Structure 1
Amino acid sequence: MRIQIVGWGRMGAALHASLAAAGAGDVLLPLAGRGADGSGADLVLLAVPDAAIADAARLIAPGPLVGHLSGMTTLAALAPHEALSVHPLLSVTGPDTAFAGAHAAVAGTSERALATARSLAETLGLVPFTVADEDRAAYHAAASISANALVAIEWVAERLAATAGVPRAALAPLARAALDNWAARGAAAALTGPIARGDEATVSRQRDALAARLPDELGLFDALTQTTRALAAHPAEPTEESR
């Protein structure tokens, strides 16, 4: 199956490089920019911004399967083509992105299209799963919270730490360990710190420090504190030993 990737951005470059490295170089057509019509391809993958998917799809000549790489966009944007989507659930930064080991949401308008989406994901080393159209917004919001919101929170943490002369590098192992524990044990079991211990005096002093040094972030601190209290009251997931 000859594959044409349309889009010069980070996703297009990463996808092209990874497929070539995975042994698909013989069927990869040259990377194309927006406006390509997919001539000579059996599968056209639109690595373009979400808002440009429908316009790019309309330029593809009838015949090939047409896919996009969006997590939010449904397959309706690719009509009337036989369509598929593969959304790698990881941060894509360019041609050095490693897809292997991550997951990917896949979809298809036919059994052939869905099978192609799964095969493409597996070629990249991704673990495929399906998401219904009505669930895409919730799925994409979860992904954004997991990655983008996490980075935003760490940005607040590093700025507050800097007021005490503490470098970002000092926080990184703490953040990594918390993320690893959450992945392995679930949120309730991974939670540590003053709220988990019921130490409200420390939480109050933390709030006072933030109010004095980063007052614009006080609303975020209060919202996170409220959610953390709810988590502290939530039962931990059962482990193999407790079953």
Structure 2
Amino acid sequence: MAQVLIIGAGRAGSSMARALREVGHEVEGPVGRGFHYEEIDDRFNVVMVATSDDAIASVSSKIPASPNRVVVHLSGSLGLDVLNSHPRRGAIHPLVPLPTVELGSHRLLSGISFAVAGDEIVQEIVTSLHGNIVAVADEDRARYHAAACVAANHVVAVMGQVERIAESAGLSVDAFLDLARAAIDDVARFGARNALTGPASRGDWATLERHLDAIDVSEHAGYRAGVGMALDLITTRDVIEVLDEPVDEMPEVRSPSGTSLVG
């Protein structure tokens, strides 16, 4: 098992520290501001930098370089170049939200996927956490992290719109959560394109227009963006089959009454 020092006492560092201890690693920290970097010696064969992305380069530059130590960051968007002052380096990014330390540490041990790069010890750590290894090259890291943010952060933002519109109809968001879960399950089973249902997938412009008439104008931009992304999943041929409309009439994506449905 690894001898790990964790720098960064936020949710990510604290969750990782608890999870690593539970599976038998010796962990010191997480330490925060005021830590004396000269205290880092060869008893630590792994130093994890769990700070904000903007601080990783600065923090890692203060860690004494050693061939006996792997410096690892937990960023999803940064590559290994940010750790270039160290001969051995790696990256581990858990593909799961860590909203609290208790829930975060539990999720880290629940068989989730981790995006890894660099020294082979990072794969050993993920395996010890019962995780699934997803190798992501440096040149793909930003695109990978963009997808991760859409999957987590943007989905939450969309559910925020569900909550607001539901409340405007006198309903709780709870009534819609099973629907959202089922939609995610369908994506896992069939893929996003084949999982798509609803009025946009059928070209039911009248229903979409009624929605825009009913909801607050402040929700129009988000709703139209969603319709646009739904239409992106449908090929031109699919739309023609549903609507029996000529190709040159499709790009504007307007309802029969002329209302723009995507912006």
Provide TM-score, normalisation by structure 2.
0.81
Paired residues of 1:195 and 1:232 also in contact (CA < 8 A): no
Give the RMSD, CA atoms, in angstroms. 1.8
Paired residues of 2:7 and 2:29 also in contact (CA < 8 A): no
Amino acid of the structure 1 residue aligned with 2:111: G
Amino acid of the structure 2 residue aligned with 1:117: V
**Cα deviations by residue, 1:54-108 (Å, 9 ceiling, x for unpaired):** 1111111122210100011111111211210101111012322211221111111
Match of 1:28 in 2: 27
Matched, 1:168 2:159: no
Match of 2:247 in 1: none
Q: Which runs of 5+ in 2 are unaligned?
A: 239-263
Match of 2:245 in 1: none
Q: Which runs of 5+ in 1 are unaligned?
A: 237-243
Paired residues of 1:75 and 1:83 also in contact (CA < 8 A): yes
Name the CA shift for 1:234/1:182 in 2 (closer, same or farther; >3 Å).
farther
User: Where does 1:189-228 land on structure 2 (aligned, <5 Å)?
Assistant: 189-210=194-215, 213=216, 215-228=217-230
**Cα deviations by residue, 1:112-170 (Å, 9 ceiling, x for unpaired):** x1x11111111112211111211111111111111111111110111011111010111
The secondary structure found in structure 1 opposite 2:31 is coil
- Following superposition, the deviation at residue 231 of structure 1 comes to 1.6
Paired residues of 1:194 and 1:203 also in contact (CA < 8 A): yes
1-structure distance, mates of 2:183, 2:201: 14
- Following superposition, the deviation at residue 194 of structure 1 comes to 1.5
2-structure distance, mates of 1:146, 1:117: 24
Paired residues of 1:13 and 1:94 also in contact (CA < 8 A): no
| Deviating 4+ runs (over 6 angstroms) | none
Amino acid of the structure 2 residue aligned with 1:31: P
Match of 2:116 in 1: 106
Amino acid of the structure 2 residue aligned with 1:93: P
2-structure distance, mates of 1:150, 1:30: 32
Name the CA shift for 1:201/1:186 in 2 (closer, same or farther; >3 Å).
same
Matched, 1:77 2:78: no
Matched, 1:44 2:47: yes
Amino acid of the structure 2 residue aligned with 1:91: P
Q: Count residues in correspondence.
A: 226
User: Where does 1:43-192 land on structure 2 (aligned, <5 Å)?
Assistant: 43-63=46-66, 64-81=69-86, 82-96=88-102, 97=104, 98-99=107-108, 100-108=110-118, 113=119, 115-192=120-197
Match of 2:248 in 1: none
Provide TM-score, normalisation by structure 1.
0.87
Give 1 or 2 for the bigger CA radius of gyration.
Answer: 2
The secondary structure found in structure 2 opposite 1:87 is strand
